[in-house]
Every structure is written in C-alpha cells, then in structure tokens.
Amino acid sequence: MPLLPGAEPFRRDGGEVGVLVCHGFTGSPQSLRPWAEYLADRGLTVSLPLLPGHGTRWQDLQITTWQDWYAEVDRELRALTERCSKVFVCGLSMGGALALRLAAKHGAAVSGVVVVNPANKVHDAAAPLLPVLRHLVRTTKGVANDIAKPGAEELAYARVPLHAAYSLRRFFQLVDSELPSVTQPLLVMTSPQDHIVPPVDSERILARVSSTDVRQTLLERSYHVAPLDHDAEKIFEDTFAFVSRLAPQAGPDAVDAARKGTAASGGA
C-alpha cells in the first residue's frame, strides 16, 4: 500500500549524539517532522521511523499490534546506539509511551527522555468493553487534528480500528507497570488543553517513574498535537537544551559535522 504523501520516515546522520523520535497512534512522522528536522539541523543524528500499519490506510493498522509498533522503535534505537555515543528518545502521545518503555527496557543505553502529551491510558468510557466490542464493531471515529493553530493539519487516520485500540490499551497497561524502571533524566511537556490525552496522564507518569532529574513544562497555547501547534518552537528549543545539558558534545561542533555530512550526501 503506498504511503500517504508526508508520512515518510525521516533520518539524518549528524554528530555522535542521537535522537529517536516516536509518533503517535494513527498518526505518522508528518506530525513530528519539524521537531526532528530542528534537531537534525543542530547537528544531532535523528531517526523518526514510520510505525507499522501507519501512514497508509486504517485497514493496515487493523492487523498490527503494539508488539509491531514497539519492535520498530526498538530496532531504530539499537541502530542509533551502534552509531552514537549517547542516544535520547522522544515521543508524542503513544509515541511518548513507546519512548518510556524503551527507557525502561534499555537502561543506560538511553541517556534521557522527552515526551509531549504522553498517553498512559485509554480514557474512553467504552475502553473496558474493547475485548468484546472489537469483534462486533470494526472502527470508531478518529482522534486526529487536535490543534489550536489555524491552518495546521495532522496527517492521521479518520477512523480508529478497534482491534488496534484494544492492543493500545494493553500496551498502556504494560508501560504503566514498567514506569518505576525509568530512571533517566525526563522532560515532560504537557498541554493543559488537550482533548485527546488529558494532563492527568502526564501526572501519573511523573508520579510513577524513578527518575530524579525530572522537569515539566506547560504548553499553554497548544492542544494535543503540540509539535504542530503554537508552542512548537518551545518544544524544539527545550528539547535541544535538554539534550545539550546532558550531552555537551551536542554543540557547535556537531552542527558543523552535520553540515559537512549534509553537503556530502545531498541531505535527507
């Protein structure tokens, strides 16, 4: 099945500090590409993969599970750790949950975590019925485009397949149980006005992780898809500042290295 225009994965080699960026459920790299490009332009080695079942049509998501989505980011993280001396993981919504599980499972191989409106639970009232409901109803209405900024648009599915939603709920339960294993420095960015993932999910995550270097910032002007919203630049700048604080080698020399690499390869 051909990819939707704009849903392509993004990768660019830069310096010795790597960043893995994980998109959300039913979404695509399009929603996070400006974030990934900002970091790559500052000399970081960046990977923004396309999760299985995403970026094409909802029917393809229907036949995937959380194990498929997690396996993809796990492979990307392993590839980055072979290439880079330090690797950070970032994510939006379900991508935040993926990033947190990577941190819990890979320990010291992950140097820090940045999550934007991270999801921890399926809050729909029908969620407990998903084990049965998914066999009776194929899809429900999509959850895309929760953006305050006029003209901004997220490339995501208009329908949510219930088999995938059931798997997502099980994944959130698993990640919640693993949060105490997250010990890395953590930056959580939360939109108080989020119509998809309520701020209580961020609070739950902050309460359960074992990290001691923890920071939270509020995205007062943005809704759920904040990397495409009014606070996008704040997200980008705060992420780079977080990475630079923990990996001083992510500085001007890395930018020069990235520019040389881009000139040699013709860009990404």
Measured in degrees and rounded to the nearest 5, phi and psi for residue 137 equal -130, 130
Residue type, 58: W
Structure tokens at 189: 């960015």
The single residue of 28, 47, 93, 222 carrying the catalytic annotation is 93
With CA atoms as reference, report the closest residue to 56 among 88, 28, 97: 28
The single residue of 224, 229, 231, 238 carrying the catalytic annotation is 224
194 included as an active-site residue: yes
| Angle, alpha carbons 137-67-141 (nearest 5°) | 30
The single residue of 13, 146, 194, 229 carrying the catalytic annotation is 194
135 included as an active-site residue: no
Q: How far apart are CA 245 and CA 243, in angstroms?
A: 5
Q: How far apart are CA 72 and CA 160, in angstroms?
A: 20
Place of tokens 């994965």: 9
256 included as an active-site residue: no
Q: Are 227 and 35 in contact (CB under 8 A)?
A: yes
Q: Are 145 and 125 in contact (CB under 8 A)?
A: no
Active site (catalytic) residues: 93, 194, 224
